[in-house]
Amino acid sequence: MPFEGRLPESTSSAALPRGFRAGAATMDIKASGRPDVAIVAVEAGLPDASVAAVFTSNALIAAPLLLSQQHLRALSPPGGGRHGWSRGVVCTAGCANAATGPDGLADQERIAKDFARGLGTDRERTLAMSTGVIGTRLPADRLGPEIAQLAREGLSDGPSALAAAAEAMCTTDSRAKSAAVDLTLPDRSGRPVPVTVSGIAKGVGMIHPQMATMLAILLTDADVDPMVLHGLLRPVAARTWDQLTVDGDTSTNDTVFLFASGASGSVPVRAGSPEGETLRDGIEAVARSLARQQAADGEGATTLITCQVSGATDDAAARAVARSVVASSLVKAAVHGRDPNWGRIAAAAGNARLARATVLEAAGLSVEEARRRAGAPVHLDPARLRIAICGRDVFDGIPLPFERAAVRALMDASEVIVRLDLGLGGGRGEAFGCDLTEAYVAENAEYTT
C-alpha cells in the first residue's frame, strides 16, 4: 500500500517572507507570565497584503472572528468576510474572548482601534485572532495602548521575529509550531525569483474536523489577488486542518489567515495557472507540516497517528475514513498502549461519514453534490479492505497472522502510520491525530482551559 507524497519539502524554520514584520510581547493575559500577544504586519511603506481566511464551523463564533469578518467585509463585500486586504493581525493568547456577548465585541473593537493607530492604518485594515479560556474578558483598556506600542516599535524582520510570534500564540502547547518552504516562480519577464511560504500555528486541545482551537498565520511574498488566494487556501485547509483531530471538540476561535505581500517581485498568480499550482503545493506543504506538529503536540499526546487511505471511491471518501480512524478514542487508546488492534481500526473505518458540505465543496465537489453527500456513510466492502500498521499487513479481507510483538515494537515510535486500502477506486486521503493518554484526562479534568 504505497502512499507517495507530491508536496515540496518543508523545513521547521520560521523565516519571514519579504514584506512582513513580526513581534511579540508579554502583556499578562496568561497567568503563567509568558509572552501572550503576537503581531504579524506588512512592512511600512509597502501596500496592504492580500489575505484569505478560514474560520471555525462552530455556531458560537468568538468576538475576534466576528470582528475580522466585519473588517474583511467592509473592504471587500463580495468576499463575505473570507478574503480581502489587510495590514496585519494581532493575536491574543490566554483568553478566547468567546461567549462574552456585546461587551466582548466592544473590547475587541477597542483593541483594533489602538492596533490600527500603531500600524498607522484604518481599523478595517486590521485582523484579530484569540485563543484561551472561554467566557473571560480581555483587559482591553490596558491592552490597547500596549498593543499600539508593540505595533509601532516592536516589530522587526530579524531571524527570530516570527518564531517569537509563534511562541506567544501558544496556550497548552508544549512547543511552538512553524514551517516554511522555498519555491521559485517567474517574474514578469519570465526570470525565476525565489518565493517563500511560511507559517506559524498553535494547537492543541479542542481540535477536530472541521477546524479547531487552533490558530495559524501563513505568509508568502508571492503576488496573489485576495479571491485567488482564498481559492488556494480552501482546498489546502480541506486536506490538512480539516483532517486534524485531537479530541473531537471544535472550538469557538479557530482561524487561519494567509497573507500575500507580493514583495518577491514574482508574476501575479492567476487561478488555475501553473504558478498557482506551485504556490498551492507550497502552501499545502507548510499547512500539512503545521497540522502534523499540532497533532503530535495534542494535549497529553506521546505519539502522532497518521492514517493514509487509498483505494476509495473518491478523495472525499478516503479523507472521511482516515478522519474516522484517527478520531476514534479506542484507536487512540490502543496506539497509546502499542496494541496493534486492527479490529478497532476496521470498526472506526466502518463508522466513517462524509464531512459537511462546505468541506466537500472545498475538496472540489459542486455545491449541489456536496449538499447531497454531506453526512452520508462511506461505502466499504469488508472483503476488499486491507489494513497495515507500521508497514505490516494485518488484515486482507480476513485477519492475517502477524507477529504481534514485532508490530508492538514498531509502534513504539513518535509516529504510528496506519494504512487502509479500500480496494474500490482511486480515491486517496490522509488524516492526523494523536494517542489518548491518562495525561490528556488529567490535564483537562484539573484545569479550566
**Residue of 37, 380, 390, 416 interacting with a copy of itself (CB under 8 A):** 380
- Specify the stretch interacting with a copy of itself by CB under 8 A; choose among 109-117, 186-194, 282-290, 339-347: 339-347
- Minimal distance in Å, beta carbon 398 to a copy of itself? 4
CB of 129 to a copy of itself, least distance (A): 16
What is the DSSP-derived secondary structure letter of residue 258?
E
Catalytic residue among 56, 100, 171, 213: 213
| Cell output for 351 | 463508522
* Rounded-to-5 percentages of helix, strand, coil across the chain: 35, 25, 40
Task: Answer yes or no: 213 catalytic.
Answer: yes
Binding mask 246-285 for a copy of itself (x = CB under 8 A): -xxxxxx---------------------------------
How crowded is residue 23: how many other Cβ atoms within 10 Å of its Cβ?
A: 22
Are 219 and 287 contacting, i.e. CB atoms less than 8 angstroms apart? no
Dihedral sign for Cα 179, 182, 183, 186, please.
positive
Q: Which of 351, 408, 410, 415 binds a copy of itself (CB under 8 A)?
A: 351
Q: Which lies closer to a copy of itself via its Cβ, residue 180 or residue 296? A: 296
- Contact present, 150 and 37 (Cβ < 8 Å): yes
Q: Does 411 bind a copy of itself (CB under 8 A)?
A: no
Q: Does residue 374 bind a copy of itself (CB under 8 A)? A: yes
Sheet holding 83-86, edge to edge: 83-86, 49-55, 255-260, 215-220, 192-202, 177-186
Site string for a copy of itself, 202-241 (x = CB under 8 A): ---xx-x---------------------------------
Residue selected from 379, 409, 412, 413 as contacting a copy of itself according to rule CB under 8 A? 379
- Is the CB of residue 434 less than 8 Å from the CB of residue 246? yes
Nearest to 14 by CA among 173, 201, 153: 201
Using the 8-state DSSP alphabet, how is residue 8 labeled? Answer: P
Question: Where do we find the cell 486491507?
Answer: 386
Q: Does 130 bind a copy of itself (CB under 8 A)?
A: no
Binding segment for a copy of itself (CB under 8 A), chosen from 118-126, 182-190, 233-241, 321-329, is 321-329
Cβ-based nearer residue to a copy of itself, 181 or 349:
349
Cell output for 68: 475580522
Question: Does residue number 12 form part of the binding site for a copy of itself (CB under 8 A)?
Answer: no
Residue nearer to a copy of itself on the CB measure, 222 or 325: 325
| 26's grid cell | 508579554
**DSSP codes joined into one string, 293-335:** HHHHT-TT---EEEEEEEEESSHHHHHHHHHHHHH-HHHHHHH
Q: Applying CB under 8 A, does 423 fall inside the site for a copy of itself?
A: no
Q: Assess 98 for contact with a copy of itself (CB under 8 A).
A: yes
CB nearer a copy of itself, residue 235 or residue 248: 248
- Residue 67 sits in the site that holds a copy of itself (CB under 8 A): no
Q: Report the C-alpha gap between 406 and 345 in whole angstroms.
A: 18
Distance of closest approach, residue 143 Cβ to a copy of itself, in angstroms: 19
As annotated, the active-site residues are: 213
